[in-house]
């Protein structure tokens, strides 16, 4: 059974139209923990950002999730052979933080134009 939200649990929305449709939040903070959901390359205003470009899609995913500073990241790619493009965007964003990071290959995402998706977890002080 799901427990009702308490004042220590805060939801963060990115404004994605999929959030209310699916029933999820971009991020949830409970105490010092923040979990950022799988963050896909959705362009501002909708649609897919940079179709066919893993690097640009990686930058967009990280732009959406940027507010998490002390993080653990997971990078999911539909073609693991393009991991260096996603890694380049990741390194530019997190060069100083250098979080624990995992790259994995997946068969596909909800939108077939998405080439990459990021998950980010963070612990922040109260």
pLDDT in tens, the chain (126 residues): 344 555 588 888 877 787 887 788 888 888 888 888 888 898 988 899 999 999 999 999 888 877 444 578 899 999 999 999 999 999 998 887 778 889 999 999 999 999 999 998 877 666
**Residue 109, SS3?**
coil
Q: What is the pLDDT of residue 68?
A: 42
Q: What is the pLDDT of residue 126?
A: 62
Please indicate, yes or no, whether the overall pTM of this predicted structure exceeds 0.75: no
Q: What is the pLDDT of residue 82?
A: 97
39, 61 Cβ separation under 8 angstroms: yes
Distance from C-alpha of 109 to C-alpha of 114, rounded to nearest angstrom = 6
Q: What is the pLDDT of residue 4?
A: 52
Q: State which CATH number among 3.10.20.440, 3.90.550.10, 3.30.1330.40, 3.40.50.10210 fits the domain covering 9-123.
A: 3.30.1330.40
Q: Taking all residues of the chain, what is their mean pLDDT, rounded to a whole number? A: 84
Which DSSP category does 42 fall into?
B
Q: What is the 3-state secondary structure (H, E, C) of 10-34?
A: EEECCCCCHHHHHCCCCEEEECCEE
**Non-local CB neighbours of 62 within 8 Å, separated by 6+ positions:** 39, 89, 90, 93, 118
């Amino acid at each position: 059974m799901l427990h009702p939200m308490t004042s220590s649990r805060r939801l963060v929305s990115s404004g994605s139209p999929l959030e209310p449709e699916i029933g999820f939040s971009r991020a949830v903070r409970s105490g010092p923990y923040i979990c950022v959901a799988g963050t896909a390359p959705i362009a501002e205003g909708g649609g897919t950002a940079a179709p066919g470009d893993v690097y640009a899609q990686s930058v967009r995913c990280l732009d959406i999730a940027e507010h998490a500073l002390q993080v653990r990241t997971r990078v999911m790619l539909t073609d693991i052979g393009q991991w260096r493009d996603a890694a380049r965007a990741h390194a530019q964003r997190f060069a100083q933080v250098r979080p624990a990071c995992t790259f994995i290959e997946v068969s596909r995402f909800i939108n077939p134009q998405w080439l990459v998706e990021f998950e980010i977890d963070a612990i922040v002080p109260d």
